[in-house]
Amino acid sequence: MGRPEDDRVGGAVRTLMGYVRWIGFVACSLAALGYAAIGNYNMTGLMLALAVLSWLNIRRKRNKSEPPADH
C-alpha cells in the first residue's frame, strides 16, 4: 500500500524517462549524421544502431499500458 503522493512521483518519473528516451534518439541520430559527414562510417553505423534501439524502446514503451492502480 503506497501513499497517494507515490502515484504522482511515479508519473513524474515516467514522464521524465519519456523525455530521456527521445533525447537519446535525437542525440544518436545527430551523431550518426555528424560521423557520416566526416567520413567515419564505423561510428556512423554504431550511432544508427543505437538510434534504432532507442526508437524501438520508444515504441515499446508507448504501446505498453499503464500499470493498474491499487485501491
Nine cell digits for residue 19: 523525455
Quote the pLDDT of residue 28: 97
Torsion angle, CA of 22/27/28/29, rounded to 10 degrees? 90
The tens digit of pLDDT for each residue in 20-66 reads 999 999 999 999 999 999 999 999 999 999 999 999 999 998 877 55
* Mean pLDDT, residues 4-12 taken together: 68
Q: How confident is the model at residue 11 (pLDDT cuts 50, 70, 90)?
A: confident
* Nearest CA-CA partner of 53 in 17, 25, 23: 25
68 has pLDDT over 90: no
